[in-house]
């Protein structure tokens, strides 16, 4: 089984918040595709990273998780590109981990 985590930005590049409906759309799409979804939307997580110039950047993100028996890398690659366009991002981080249900 795999845990897939999506890190979506709370704000666009002009620091305007994305609408709740944009996150609702993602949740609905994932729930319909995978039969369930968990979204951590109440307290955005603070993401920090170093850009190519060595400057530390910060982004507030919403974490969305799904569990799937199979990891379809092509589907997730296509979906990542869709999210990058929708949320106007150079890159949307999606990561997967093998997990065991206890």
What confidence score (pLDDT) does residue 29 get? 97
Domain ranges (residues) in the chain: 2-98
**Residue pLDDT, tens place only, 54-69:** 877 777 889 999 999 9
What confidence score (pLDDT) does residue 85 get? 96
Residue among 57, 101, 82, 102 nearest 6 (CA): 82
Identify the helix (H) or strand (E) that includes residue 31.
helix 20-34
CA 2, 76, 93, 82 dihedral sign is: negative
What confidence score (pLDDT) does residue 70 get? 94
**Is pLDDT larger for residue 5 or for residue 15?**
5
Q: What is the pTM of this model?
A: 0.85
Backbone φ, ψ for residue 26 (5° rounding):
-60, -45
**Residue pLDDT, tens place only, 15-50:** 899 999 999 999 999 999 999 999 887 667 777 677
In CATH terms, the fold of domain 2-98 is Alpha-Beta Plaits (3.30.70)
């Amino acid at each position: 089984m795999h845990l897939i985590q999506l890190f979506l930005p709370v704000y666009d590049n002009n620091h305007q918040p994305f609408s709740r409906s944009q996150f609702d759309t993602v949740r609905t799409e994932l729930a319909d595709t995978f039969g369930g979804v968990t979204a951590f939307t109440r307290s955005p997580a603070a993401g920090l990273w170093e850009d190519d110039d060595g400057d530390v950047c910060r982004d507030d993100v919403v974490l969305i998780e799904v569990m799937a028996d199979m990891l379809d890398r092509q589907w997730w690659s296509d979906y990542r590109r869709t999210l990058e366009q929708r949320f106007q991002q150079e890159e949307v981080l999606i990561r997967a981990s093998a997990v065991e249900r206890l």
